[in-house]
Amino acid sequence: MSLADVLIKELKEFSNEQGSVQHMLRADDPEFYRGFGEIYFSTINPSVIKGWHCHRDQISVLSCVHGSVLLVLHHAGKFREVQFGDGQRRLVLIPAGIDYAWQNRGPEPAILANCSTHVY
């Protein structure tokens, strides 16, 4: 396992005068869909850092659905940063064994969605 095993995909957002729709994860996506345990949402207040997290068996698939978040990944002494959220819709797959933390970089609470392969 290494940071090279972390996958990142740009997401599309469809907007009009009524609002917007953004897709996160599909069961027919062989690269990102690794099974389903649960989906939960984590709210992060401005400037707050949550982490470090590391799961031994669980794969996490994250998307920032509101706000702006900096995700920091760590493994074997190396770091990788991913900025995502408003204006940067991305899906990030974090394999088991990778340490990660995130910080809200925006002025209001951010919401991070996590589709994990295990029930937590």
Whether 41 contacts 50, CB under 8 Å: no
Domain count, the chain: 1
Name the pTM for this structure. 0.92
pLDDT for residue 87: 87
Taking the CB of residue 74, how many other CB atoms lie within 10 A of it? 16
pLDDT for residue 64: 97
Q: 37-72 pLDDT, tens per residue?
A: 999 999 999 999 999 999 999 999 999 999 999 999
Distances (CA, A) of 103 to 59, 67, 77, 120: 20, 11, 20, 22
- N- to C-terminal Cα distance for the chain? 22
Q: Which domain holds residue 47?
A: 3-116
CATH number where 13 lies: 2.60.120.10
Distance of CA 95 to the CA centre of its chain: 12
Q: 64-107 pLDDT, tens per residue?
A: 999 999 999 999 999 999 999 988 999 999 999 999 999 999 99
Q: 105-118 pLDDT, tens per residue?
A: 999 999 999 999 99
pLDDT for residue 4: 96
Distance CA(73)–CA(23), nearest Å, equals 24
